[in-house]
Amino acid sequence: MEIEGRPGLNVQKKGIVKQPDPVKPPPNNTEEDMDCKDMKKEALSRRSAWQPTVFYSLGNETFSFTGQEINIRESLDSFGAVIWPGAVALCQYLEKNREQFDLLDKAVLELGAGTGLVSIVASLLGAWVTATDLPDVLSNLNFNLSRNTRGRCRYTPQVAALVWGQDVKRDFPSSIYSYDYVFCADVVYHHSFLEDLLITMQYFCKPGTTLLWANKVRFQSDLCFIENFKKVFNVTLLEEIPQEEVWIYQATAKTSAQMREEKREN
C-alpha cells in the first residue's frame, strides 16, 4: 500500500503488501524540505563526510554517512529491528569505495534489510533501492527509510515483503525484475533458513548483478554457509575487519558451465 504523497514507498497495511515497481522512475526533484536541509547542515558541521561515526542511545542510533545524519529507530522485538555490525561495516565500505562501487542510478535490492541502514546509505549514494524483509519488520523499516531519505535522495526507496525461498518467483518474476546490486548484511547466523537464503541470493543474481555481503562470523554454521556460498558464486573477499570479526564479500553467480567444470575437476 503506498503512502499518500510518497510514491513508490510501500508498506504493509491490513495484510496487503504492494509489490515494488519493477521499472526505475525518473529521479526525484532535488528540492529538499527545510528540516532535511537543517539536518544536513548540522551533520556537515559536526562530522567529516569521509569519517562516519556512531553514537548510541537506548532504542535509537545516530550515524553520519556521506555527510548526512541518519537516525535509526531500533526495537528489541525482532532480530530484524536491531542494527548489527555487518550493516555498519558495509555502509562504511560503500562510502569509502564509492568510486569502485558507483551506485548512482543503479538498481539495488537489499535482502534482510532490518532497520534499513544499508538501504538508506545506498539511497543517499544515488541508488534506486528496494528494501525487503519479513512482513513483521516492514513497519519499522519503512519508518526509518522515510524519515532518513525524504527530500534527500535521487530516488524514493521502496519497501517490500520477501520471505526467503517462498513465492519469490511469483512475487519477483525475473522477466521484469532485475538489479545491478544485491546487498546483504548479517543475514547469516544460527537460523533455519540458510538454504532458502542461498537459493534466494542465486535467484536475484543474474548475469550483470553483483552481490555484496557483509557478515559477522558467530557460529560454525556461518562457516558452512560460506563454503556452500562459494560453490555457486565467484567470490572475492573485499575486506576483513578482525576487531569485529566481519568479512565483506563481492560475488557474482557462477554459470552452469563453470559449475559443471568444477564438478568434473572434483
State residue 79's pLDDT score: 57
Beta-carbon count within 10 A of 258 CB: 12
Q: What is the pLDDT of residues 1-10, one digit of tens each?
A: 333 333 344 4
**Model confidence pLDDT, tens digit, residues 67-92:** 999 999 987 555 557 888 999 999 99
pLDDT for position 25 = 87
> What pLDDT score was predicted for residue 51?
38
Q: Which parts of the chain have pLDDT scores under 70?
A: 1-18, 29-58, 76-80, 266
CA–CA gap between residue 100 and residue 106 (Å, rounded) = 13
Q: Are strands 128-133 and 158-161 parallel, antiparallel or unpaired?
A: parallel
pLDDT at 192: 86
In this prediction, residue 46 carries a pLDDT of 32
pTM over 0.75: yes
Q: What is the pLDDT of residue 80?
A: 56
What does the pLDDT look like over 99-138, one tens digit per residue? 999 999 999 999 999 999 999 999 999 999 999 999 988 9
